[in-house]
Structure 1
Amino acid sequence: MKLTILGGGGFRVPLVYGALLTDRGEGRVTEVVLHDLDDSRLYAVARVLDEQAARVPDAPRVTATTDLDEALRGADFIFSAIRVGGLEGRAHDERVALAEGVLGQETVGAGGIAYGLRTVPVAVDIARRVARLAPDAWLINFTNPAGLVTEAMSRHLGDRVIGICDSPVGLGRRIARVLGADPKEAWIDYVGLNHLGWVRGLRVAGRDELPRLLADPDLLGSFEEGKLFGVDWLQSLGAIPNEYLHYYYFNREAVRAYQQAEKTRGAFLADQQAQFYAEMKRPDTAALTAWDRTRAEREATYMAENRETAGAGERDADDLSGGYEKVALALMRAIARDERTTLILNVRNQGTLSALDADAVIEVPCLVDANGAHPVAVAPLPEHATGLVCAVKGVEREVLAAAESGSRTTAVKAFALHPLVDSVNVARRLVEGYTDVHPGLAYLR
């Protein structure tokens, strides 16, 4: 089976390949094609993968190309993890927003809108090529903003594009662990949009264990979300929010922390990865060792400003292991082998949440089989969560409309309607600032 990875020179690709190396079953991936626009990054990642495979018999064969059509032809699965504008673009997203006193995070608020505006046209072009060159392939999207990009691609690929994210997986794993349950045996009632969802229940053997967690302040404050949001707030909500909701619930504190940080997250990663790729140009570099060292530092500093604001301390060691690659592998296995499983995924709503239309991409538990991912019926969200979900989905739709029409006016509307942008005039200045620094937004007129 052939897997094509778009963004194949990306730093996290070895996580995906490492997961593939653990799969010895029939119908496994035997060929991996890496596609990237930067051949030096492809070379660096291919070196890491080569060292990963050194002691694994019959490891999937790896090839690399900068030709997108060549990469897509004959693919059974396509994994999209592109970053339009690179990490330098992410750093620009952060700086422009913070200069206006609003959040610049890559998926939430102004930064997420800017990233979406320059990513959607590229993602749509990829979707059209997949429909033409690999119509039977399944596309697994991890490109951020994941829900927005998945919805843009679904307009051309239908339900054959599925978005994944490791945040709900990590959240469910942490809750199960603190309750003494096996995450593999737990049913996680999680509902929302990508980076905007809530765990409302965790059932083990038919019993909802979440009320026990919410009623125990010591237990509730012992893991990442309890430290990040605070015990009182979680008990008020009666649910455990995705960590990205910290940007909404504690927005003023988050913006201040990012403004005061020595470097924004994007700038930190740009410098860190520049060092890694430069190191990889030396033939004597131990590629896998260098990658492992860089990854550990990257994950330890994840959402550091938010944790500092909340006084949450350092991340637990158990939370430094990623997870999206495991979701991707489980999803591919379920479809390719009809190994039915349940995963939290980004898929078209299809009536699951009554507040949104059928084509809106949401993030919910899905039953997965050879025919794809099927969202499970869920109870309605409470009013406060429904209002936030509808508002952010409305912004996503304006982003899609702006990307399709090239309308600068619609882009301003997208920014102005976001709950974390507090003025139409700020929205106008954001569009001006972003078009000044991003060549990829020149289409906005």
Structure 2
Amino acid sequence: MKNGLKITVIGAGSSYTPELIEGLIKRAEELPIAQLWLVDIEEGKEKVNIIAGLARRMIEKAGLAIQVEVTLDRRLALKDADFICSQFRAGCLEARIRDERISLKYGMIGQETNGLGGFANACRTIPITLEICKEIEALCPDAWLLNFTNPSGMVTEAVLKHTKVKAVGLCNVPVIMQKGIAELLACDEQEIIMQVAGINHFIWARQILHNGKNKLDYIVEQILSGNDPLVPSNIPAFAWPAELLKNMGMIPCAYLRYYYMSQDILEQELGEANGEGTRGEVVKAMEKRLFAIYSDPTVNTKPKELEKRGGQYYSEAACELMSSIYNDKRTIMHVNTRNNGTIAGLADDCVVEVSAIITKSGPLPLNVAPFPSDTLRLLQLMKEFETLTVEAAISGDLNKARRALILNPLVNTGSVLEAALLETVRENIDFMPQFAHLLH
């Protein structure tokens, strides 16, 4: 890669972008950035301009000479880019809120990356991502695409199966787990090795190594005693079923509560939706407060309030991933990449979320011990749901959509599914043109 890197951020009007800027500033000596291009769409124009103002103030305060450009012209932003951070939300928060409300209406958990909501999000997002990838192939074929657009695993799988783009998917959940484990062990993060495996928002910590010992059982004891800093800040406090956690021999990520405690979580979500609102509605109000802070011309650091957003540390992970690739650092990170035999029982060409050594050539995943058979069956089921969802998102095949959703444990089947699926397509048709033929 050449000196004077060009970094392009797609969906730069996101409230997370100041964390990305902070991470790039911290790594100024590792990443010689000349240009930072912030790109968004017309609907995000006001937000991306506010972000650009804050970014310039942060960079000026750090004494760096990084040129910040704002544009709605994606092709201009992509030309000759070295790294592309994808963090857009197709349909904005309004689409997320619709997904949550439709799911709850039909008695299903409403969540942006799981169940019916995860399916809808994938079907809106994957076609746009593949358009972006065509532009990358033409304008910056050597660039790395760092994807943390949700649902990250399915979006990354679509890219790796259907394009030539070099892509790695990211999620903040394993990052938060690792930081929480370091807190419980009262040590620096660099002193531990946490090995995770699964698929996006469906992972388990398999090993926690510190000073030559596996500390997994100790961490489980701490969690069961009520001390659980492994949970993202956007997830309300909950307690794992004690006997389940004691006997698993691994630690599930917080999103697995949707599957291990479905009825409890559904009741909780219904209560929240009738009170302060769905998570999407809460986030929308939070974003309004954040952008009011970002607009203040005296603010030149990442506001503390950003840590209350569920995606905390996403951007930090993106910056470390960039540096690890650019500098061939061989850091161990938790990423979405091709399985290639890493998890026994899953297809080699599917995308998994695993711990990997990050090199100049991309991620080299660390092989994991075989999963217990019951967990593997659940993982295989969810991977088949993802595979069919990706196919449906590209083809607009409603039967593949049905087949995908029937497999998902969070989705009710029968006439309820048919009604929920058709309403989802109808309400999202502006972002799901692949299904337009169904409405004529």
Normalised by the length of structure 1, the TM-score is 0.89
The farther-off stretch of 145-154 and 175-184 is 175-184
Unaligned runs of 5+ in 1: 303-320
Q: Which residue in the other structure is 1:412 paired with?
A: 402
Q: How many residues align?
A: 420
Q: Which residue in the other structure is 2:234 paired with?
A: none
Give 1:209 shift: 1.4
Residues 159 and 343 of structure 1, relative CA distance in 2, 3 Å threshold? farther
Q: Which residue in the other structure is 2:38 paired with?
A: 34
Equivalent residue for 1:43, pick from 35, 49, 53: 49
Report the RMSD for the aligned CA atoms in angstroms. 2.2
Would you say 1:15 and 2:29 are equivalent positions? no
Q: Which residue in the other structure is 1:224 paired with?
A: 229
User: Deviation digits for residues 309-328 of structure 1, max 9, x if unmatched?
Assistant: xxxxxxxxxxxx92222221
Residues 135-146 of structure 1: pairs in structure 2 closer than 5 A: 135-146=141-152
Residues 9-408 of structure 1: pairs in structure 2 closer than 5 A: 9-37=13-41, 38-158=44-164, 160-214=166-220, 216=221, 220-224=225-229, 228-261=239-272, 262=275, 263-274=277-288, 276-277=290-291, 286-287=298-299, 292=303, 294-296=305-307, 298-299=308-309, 302=310, 322-408=312-398
How far, CA to CA, are the matches of 2:134 and 2:225 in structure 1? Answer: 46
How far, CA to CA, are the matches of 1:249 and 1:73 in structure 2? Answer: 45
Give 1:26 shift: 4.9
Structure with higher RCO (Cα < 8 A, 6+ apart): 2
Give 1:253 shift: 1.1
- Residues 130 and 163, structure 2, Cα contact 8 Å, conserved in 1: no
Residues 153 and 177 of structure 1, relative CA distance in 2, 3 Å threshold? same
- Residues 94 and 106, structure 1, Cα contact 8 Å, conserved in 2: yes
Residues 378 and 158 of structure 1, relative CA distance in 2, 3 Å threshold? farther
Give 1:401 shift: 1.3
Normalised by the length of structure 2, the TM-score is 0.90
State percent identity of aligned pairs.
31
Q: Which residue in the other structure is 1:313 paired with?
A: none
Please give the secondary structure, in 1, of the residue aligned with 2:239. helix
How far, CA to CA, are the matches of 2:93 and 2:198 in structure 1? Answer: 27
Residues 86 and 409 of structure 1, relative CA distance in 2, 3 Å threshold? same
The farther-off stretch of 192-201 and 397-406 is 397-406
